[in-house]
Chain A
Amino acid sequence: MPPIPTSNNMGLSNLLEVQNLKTHFFTSEGIVKAVDDVTFKVAPQETLGLIGESGCGKSVTAHSIMRIVPKPGRILGGEIRLGLDKGVVDLADRDMSGSELREIRGKEVSMVFQEPMTSLSPVHTIGNQIRETIYLHRTRNRREATEIALDILARVGISNPDQRITEFPHQLSGGMRQRVMIAIALACQPRLLIADEPTTALDVTVQAQILELIKELQEQFHMAVLYITHDLGVIAEVCSRVAVMYLGRIVEYGAVRDIFNNPQHPYTVRLLRSIPKLGHTRRGEPLAAIQGSVPSPLNLPAHCGFLDRCEEAMDGSCNRHVPALTRVATGHSVRCFLHSEAVDAEGLELTRGAAAPPAVSQPGPG
């Protein structure tokens, strides 16, 4: 199916709109709802942080946008609308052909991974790996492609790119490799960069370098960034808005200041208080730890995912229904019965008001 041009009717005010995305894994032990009804938007040139612990579905969300969900995972439903010059495309559209996808991947949307060594091919030079993307999307001329590659390497802060371009990944340090990964991702000047924990494997001093680099390049290239991390500090550093994920769902969504200064979901509240903050946390003062651990994502029951660990869980609602993501203030939504009685059901809108009558939900099978 060709991309549906929205012609001149409004189009997208956002660059990326993910609506009710569902990506499930069908394993031999049961269904893992890695991403279950996730909705968020990324405006042009903004940085949205996607934060969560391991297994919360943040990486699967990114993989769904790139359409690289590994088997036995499948995108079951929802839309991933990307605003392009020629109109809006739905990346969740299963009929989209491989060539259409390749046209978008690497050119309009590109991705930087956590482990630079495994994402770079060990048998090709840095230059060839950058040129490969450029050939695909920008020019077939080798000289031009080399010039673009040299330019981009210089811009990601690699000294003497003329020499580096002939080297292999193993000749570079971890930080340098991550810079090369970023260079490859930016070679075609994408509108959206998905950064999946790009600094987690790096040392603090190198992490600081890469964070500064991403911020700088974002301004230079006028691109939006979807920044995936588990580190609240990194979020505070680079993001303008934040989506907090827990067990496959977004539990809180808002401007970074709202999330840090006025968190609403019990999970976010506890998470922020559970990390020691340099210069702010007193020695010996107990941290507000969250009890228990993340439950197994297998065959999730139909209630709030945070139920078992929440100190404010209410019998009758929290253990019976999944709360809906509800707006509590301008640009700030929470998925919690403490703030709204709205119950989640298929296709509920992101900005559904607090007054919505509790829809009938299924209290689990049987």
Chain B
Amino acid sequence: MAAAVVPLIEVRNLKKYYPIEVGMFRRVQGHVKAVDDVSLEIFPGETLGLVGESGSGKTTVGRCMLRAVDPTSGEIWFHHEGQSWDLAQLTHQELKPLRPYAQMIFQDPYSSLDPRMPVFDIIAEPLRTHSLAQDRELEDQVKELAGHVGLNIEHLRRYPHAFSGGQRQRIGIARALATRPRIIVADEPVSALDVSIQAQILNLLPRLQKEFGLTFLFIAHDLSVVEYVSDRVAVMYVGRIVETAATKRIFSAPSHPYTEALLSAVPKTSPDEVKERIVLHGETANPAALPTGCYFHPRCHYAEDICKNEAPPWVEVEPGHHSACHFAGELTLSGAYPKS
């Protein structure tokens, strides 16, 4: 679609393998392929939803992008103001000046805040680390950030244990915003929260996106949440991206059987809804002992011989809509929306 727009982040052939060590001297005996050859682009100002079940490697992709874990191989290009860096190649020293541009929001509002630090210091930490503000200025900035995320500035001297899950998540968001980043990796930011609190955070994120001009990589397993926040969606299955497209397209006309099954597994939104369910048999493949060919073939309703033997190509089904399936574009798959 928009070929002229330079992406903010460009991930090329990203791989993250964890060695399986055995015996007294930890001999390496194979690898767990958490992320296996992932490529994706994130454009400025958009929200890319990254969907997958547990063990699909979606969290690892997010963490590699921020170099919270070091990738095994691949390139992570960051384009900013006419300059480009391959984040995968930089040392941690070289990375430091770039850190303010990319931040992270975590899933668990309890383990993501140091319980031994008052909230003020938690939000101020990134500013202090990069010497972005001191004294009065620092205080003003922290208060402003707290206001942005809806925290009471009277309560900044309190410790995290004084706050509920939703408020803690706001503190984590304020910390991520402190350096005015370009991109935020939000790793399941609402899945640990109670239903009534989820909506508060889901309303807050798009508002902040506008106010701060943010780009989001939104990692989640809940498809309704992803549909609500994302411009584009990428679906992962055991370490690989199987499909990407604009949100509307992927939800109305998926081209990968796994996406179809995932969509049909979402529970009904009301008791009156009639839903035809494709129940997948079996469970997600074990990333330490992957099947041959297409990783999804043992569970796929449409699998044929070619799926067992050959890895599927990455094909463009329609502009901006890619799928890793031998039969992409040939199958008629049902989406999440009722046919009208």
Contact = CB atoms under 8 A, between A and B. Distances in A.
Touch A–B, Cβ below 8 Å: yes
Interface string A276-311: 111111011011111101100000000000000100
A76 interface: no
A256 interface: yes
B32 to A, nearest CB: 16
Contact of B195 (A173, A208, A230, A256): A230
Nearest to A199: B267
A256 B271 contact: yes
A27 interface: no
A206 interface: yes
Interface in B194-222: 194-200, 202-203, 206, 221-222
B61 interface: no
A358 B5 CA distance: 67
Interface string B270-298: 11110001011101100000000000000
Contacts of A275: 195, 198-199, 224
Contact of A209 (B202, B227, B229, B280): B280
Contacts of A286: 203
A83 B36 CA distance: 56
A65 to B, nearest CB: 24
A237 B267 contact: yes
B223 interface: yes
B228 A281 contact: yes
Given A257-B272, A281-B224, A290 B280 contact: no
Interface string A128-153: 00000000000000000000000000
A207 interface: yes
A61 B89 CA distance: 55
B6 interface: no
A53 B166 CA distance: 13
Nearest to B252: A279
A176 B228 CA distance: 32
Contact of A293 (B54, B165, B270, B271): B165
Interface residues of B, number: 48
A237 B268 contact: yes
A203 B54 contact: yes
Contact of A203 (B165, B221, B227, B251): B221
Contact of B338 (A173, A257, A279, A281): A279
Contacts of A239: 271
Nearest to A172: B283
A271 interface: yes
Contacts of A231: 195, 267
Nearest to B269: A277
Interface residues of A, number: 48
Contacts of B197: 289-290, 293
Contacts of B221: 203-204
B162 to A, nearest CB: 11
Contacts of B165: 293
Contacts of A347: none
Nearest to A283: B228
B262 interface: yes
A160 interface: no
Contacts of B284: 203, 205
A119 interface: no
Nearest to B286: A173
Contacts of B225: 276
- Chain B CB count within 10 A is highest, among A231, A234, A257, A293, for A293
Contacts of A204: 53, 221-223, 262, 265-266
A212 B266 contact: no
B103 interface: no
Contacts of B35: none
A154 interface: no
Contacts of A41: none
A211 interface: yes
A40 interface: no
A236 B261 contact: no
B265 to A, nearest CB: 4
A270 interface: yes
B279 A212 contact: yes
A283 B251 CA distance: 13
Nearest to B230: A283
Contacts of A270: 196
A283 B267 contact: no
Pairs of residues from A and B, 8 with the lowest C-beta to C-beta distance, nearest first? A233-B267, A289-B199, A276-B228, A274-B199, A208-B265, A203-B53, A287-B199, A277-B269
8 contacts: A230-B195, A239-B271, A260-B271, A278-B336, A283-B228, A287-B203, A293-B164, A294-B194
Interface of A: 53-54, 173-176, 203-209, 211-212, 230-234, 236-237, 239, 256-257, 260-261, 270-271, 274-281, 283-284, 286-291, 293-294, 309
Given A211-B267, A278-B269, 9 more contacts: A175-B283, A204-B53, A231-B195, A274-B199, A275-B195, A275-B224, A276-B202, A278-B227, A279-B251
